[in-house]
């Protein structure tokens, strides 16, 4: 019997089906996920909250407790017959401020306020106060426990699937750093987008190789809204599309300007302001310039080859829906010394951003021309200045934004030539940082200026000495002191400054900020009002432009609003490919200046009697500001500004 008993269990196991399922343990109730109370939910959204007992009223046998909790600087109260219930009510009140109900049952994406204050009462207009705590808990419960959704009966389910508001726990926690300053989210854009929205659909639209860069284009559709992203791979294009969607719908930015930096750019006004241009605005600027380039190059695709593309966009009252592209240009070369002109008939510097600024000058002259006729004066972006020393000034709210598809040559680019150089500068105090640098004729790249008096001679250049031109980083730093209007127009209008600079690639905040304004901010002094140190806002577009390894062409194009066709310039000769004088040369602008002096209402002098160089020298405040700029560079031991041979400016008006 004992032997039989020992073997029988083995026999029974042998007779069982091969894939038998072990019997379930019987229990009175099936285990279901337990909902979190509002305190737990709120603690997940905001860490480190402190609940305080505000008061206790009522008789001893039936007390009424009032508990408060402070979230983002706003206090929320809750009452209950016990401290626990009062704490749950306080948390529920706080959670209501995070969620907007539409038609009584939908959690819709919110547009966060500029100060990221989600405690504002502005979004309580749709009857959120009428939503009970039970409904609130159920809706958030179904969101936080998706496995329970399938177990809900049709009667239990909301009429529409709830969506978490844009600045959810993950987004808010990721984008807010110490002192209220935002930082780059910890999660990737695609993952974060899937977390924030239910209906996310990516689609590879097409492959665009028109710009000699094989680029993928991805489109993401969210709530019937489409957002595009491009990149050298499908993955990068998908990331770019997700970044664009997050920037537009949730004000979440992945810009390098958001990353913590050791030598972070200083805010413009105070700790609450930022040097970052909002991502959605940056993307709009980049898209407008690229679209305009593709439009103006039609019919002359042979000249679409380029390494650097730049453009200037104008907005009024920061209304980007009606933004205008003022100029578009390409180019990376400077004129050869043998082609220098004694009558201002060549373009010395054909780098794209420099050419775009010259196109802007052409536009400013055209806008002042409108003031010469009373019937067209109202169309001008300028108005008469009745209370200042300058006859004219820009209309209030007019801003100019510079777009460059890569970091400007010189100090902004030389120390971080690759996109992934995102680490903190390990040697910020090296003497090479911030040094003035020059471009060389007929070539690319820059070299530091020598410690000299900054003079180039005409005969020296003609005898073979290479003609040197200050780098784009240095010229932009100059614009941020003396303005972008140039010396001639400074006799007519108040200084005009760039509101923002948007890059298509290679935005490294420390280097860029130092290059365009930071290296002289401590030493600049004695500027005559209204000249000042301008600190433009900086941004990187979400669809960063890939590096173009093709050899840079020897030509560049330029187009200004109002032009019927683009102009193609041979960068080495400084003239058009047909050998004509460009429409944006010194000579062309001096002629326009002479016309304005003669015809513009309110001008004190009506005749230009001196040559180009002497006329510029007579604009005292501009020259004072320029000399202060040069002195600031010297005080910082960053080198001397290198000037062109003075013979280039010794020409007069054509009679």
Residue with tokens 């196109």: 359
Burial of 48 (0-12, 13-18, 19+ CB in 10 A): exposed
Angstrom distances, CA of residue 541 to CA of 1, 253, 526: 85, 10, 36
For 571, the token pair is: 């960068």
Question: What is the DSSP secondary-structure string of 515-548?
Answer: HHTGGGTTT---PPTT------EEEE-SSPPPP-
Cis ω for the linkage preceding 569 (within 30 of 0):
no
Residues in the chain, total: 655
CB 242 within 8 A of CB 235: no
- When computed from its CA atoms, the radius of gyration of the chain, rounded to whole angstroms, is 32
353 catalytic? Reply is yes
Cα(113)–Cα(123) distance, integer angstroms:
11
Angstrom distances, CA of residue 163 to CA of 109, 167, 185: 7, 11, 20
CB 545 within 8 A of CB 505: yes
For 85, the token pair is: 């219930």
Cα(241)–Cα(82) distance, integer angstroms:
50
Cα(556)–Cα(354) distance, integer angstroms:
11
Angle at 234 between CA 233 and CA 240, to 5 degrees: 95
For 555, the token pair is: 């030509």
Task: Quote the crossing angle between the two packed helices 189-196 and 234-250, to the nearest 10°.
Answer: 50
Q: Please, which residues bridge with residue 612 across strands?
A: none
CB 488 within 8 A of CB 524: no
Residue 640 contacts by C-beta under 8 Å, 6 or more apart in sequence?
436, 449, 451, 452, 453, 454, 630, 633, 634
Cα(256)–Cα(266) distance, integer angstroms:
15
Residue 16 contacts by C-beta under 8 Å, 6 or more apart in sequence?
none
Angstrom distances, CA of residue 387 to CA of 247, 532, 624: 41, 19, 22
Question: What is the DSSP secondary-structure string of 300-355?
Answer: -GGG---S-EEEEEEEETT-GGG-EEEEEEE---B--GGG--SSS-S-SB--HHHH
Sequence-ordered alpha helix ranges (H) in 463-585 = 472-482, 486-489, 509-516
Among 353, 441, 494, 567, the active-site one is 353
Cα(628)–Cα(513) distance, integer angstroms:
20
Residue 6 contacts by C-beta under 8 Å, 6 or more apart in sequence?
none
- Dihedral (CA of 70, 71, 73, 79) sign: negative
Residue with tokens 């983002």: 72
Angstrom distances, CA of residue 84 to CA of 47, 54, 578: 19, 14, 84
Residue 252 contacts by C-beta under 8 Å, 6 or more apart in sequence?
166, 167, 171, 175, 185, 192, 246
Please give the positions annotated as active site.
Answer: 353
């Amino acid at each position: 019997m004992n032997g039989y008993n020992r073997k029988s269990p083995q026999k029974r196991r042998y007779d069982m089906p091969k894939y038998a399922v072990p019997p379930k343990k019987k229990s009175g109730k099936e285990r279901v996920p337990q909902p979190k109370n509002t305190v737990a939910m709120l603690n997940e959204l905001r860490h480190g909250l402190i609940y305080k007992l505000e008061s206790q009223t009522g008789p001893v046998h039936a007390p009424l407790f009032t508990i408060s909790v402070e979230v983002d600087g706003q206090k929320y109260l809750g009452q209950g017959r016990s401290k626990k219930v009062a704490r749950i009510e306080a948390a529920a009140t706080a959670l209501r401020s995070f969620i907007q109900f539409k038609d009584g049952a939908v959690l819709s994406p919110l547009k966060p306020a500029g100060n990221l204050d989600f405690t504002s009462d502005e979004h309580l207009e749709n009857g959120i106060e009428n939503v009970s705590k039970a409904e609130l808990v159920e809706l958030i419960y179904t969101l936080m426990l998706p496995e329970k959704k399938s177990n809900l009966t049709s009667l239990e389910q909301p009429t529409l699937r709830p969506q978490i508001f844009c600045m959810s726990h993950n987004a808010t926690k990721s984008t807010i750093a110490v002192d209220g300053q935002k930082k780059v989210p910890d999660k990737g854009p695609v993952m974060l987008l899937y977390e924030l929205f239910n209906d996310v659909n990516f689609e590879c639209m097409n492959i665009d190789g028109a710009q000699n860069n094989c680029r993928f284009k991805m489109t993401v559709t969210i709530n019937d809204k489409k957002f595009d992203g491009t990149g050298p791979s499908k993955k990068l294009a998908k990331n770019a599309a997700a970044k664009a969607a997050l920037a537009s719908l949730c004000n979440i930015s992945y810009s390098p300007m958001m990353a913590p930096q050791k030598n972070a750019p200083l805010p413009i006004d105070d700790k609450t302001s930022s040097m970052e241009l909002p991502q959605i605005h940056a993307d709009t600027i980049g898209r407008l310039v690229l679209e305009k380039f593709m439009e103006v190059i039609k019919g002359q695709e042979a000249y679409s080859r380029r390494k650097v593309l730049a453009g200037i966009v104008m907005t009024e009252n920061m209304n980007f829906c009606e933004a205008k592209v003022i100029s578009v240009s390409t180019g990376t070369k400077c004129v050869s010394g043998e082609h220098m002109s004694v009558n201002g008939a060549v373009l010395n510097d054909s780098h794209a951003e420099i050419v775009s600024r010259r196109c802007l000058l052409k536009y400013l002259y055209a806008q002042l021309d409108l003031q010469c006729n009373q019937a067209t004066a109202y169309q001008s972006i300028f108005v008469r200045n009745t209370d200042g020393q300058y006859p004219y000034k820009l209309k209030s709210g007019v801003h100019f934004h510079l777009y460059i598809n890569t970091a400007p040559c010189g100090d902004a680019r030389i120390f971080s030539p690759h996109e992934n150089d995102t680490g903190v500068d390990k040697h910020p105090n090296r003497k090479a940082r911030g040094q003035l640098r020059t471009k060389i004729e007929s070539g690319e790249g820059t070299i530091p200026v020598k410690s000299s008096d900054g003079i180039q001679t005409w005969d020296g250049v003609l005898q073979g000495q290479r003609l040197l031109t200050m780098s784009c980083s240095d010229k932009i730093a100059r614009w941020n002191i003396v303005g972008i209007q140039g010396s001639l127009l400074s006799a007519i209008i108040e200084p005009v400054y760039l509101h923002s600079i948007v890059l298509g690639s290679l935005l490294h905040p420390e280097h860029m900020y130092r290059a365009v304004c930071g290296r002289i901010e401590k030493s600049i002094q004695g500027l005559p009002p209204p000249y000042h140190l301008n600190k433009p806002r900086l941004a990187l577009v979400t669809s960063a432009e890939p590096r173009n390894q093709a050899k840079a062409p020897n030509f560049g194009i330029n187009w200004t609003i109002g032009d019927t066709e683009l102009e193609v310039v041979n960068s080495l000769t400084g003239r058009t490919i047909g050998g004509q004088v460009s429409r944006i040369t010194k000579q062309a602008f001096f002629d326009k200046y002479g016309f304005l002096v003669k015809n513009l209402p309110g001008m004190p002098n009506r005749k230009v009697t001196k040559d180009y160089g002497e006329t510029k020298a007579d604009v005292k405040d501009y020259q004072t500001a320029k000399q202060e700029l040069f002195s600031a560079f010297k005080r910082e031991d960053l080198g001397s500004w290198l000037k062109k041979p003075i013979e280039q400016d010794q020409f007069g008006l054509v009679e």
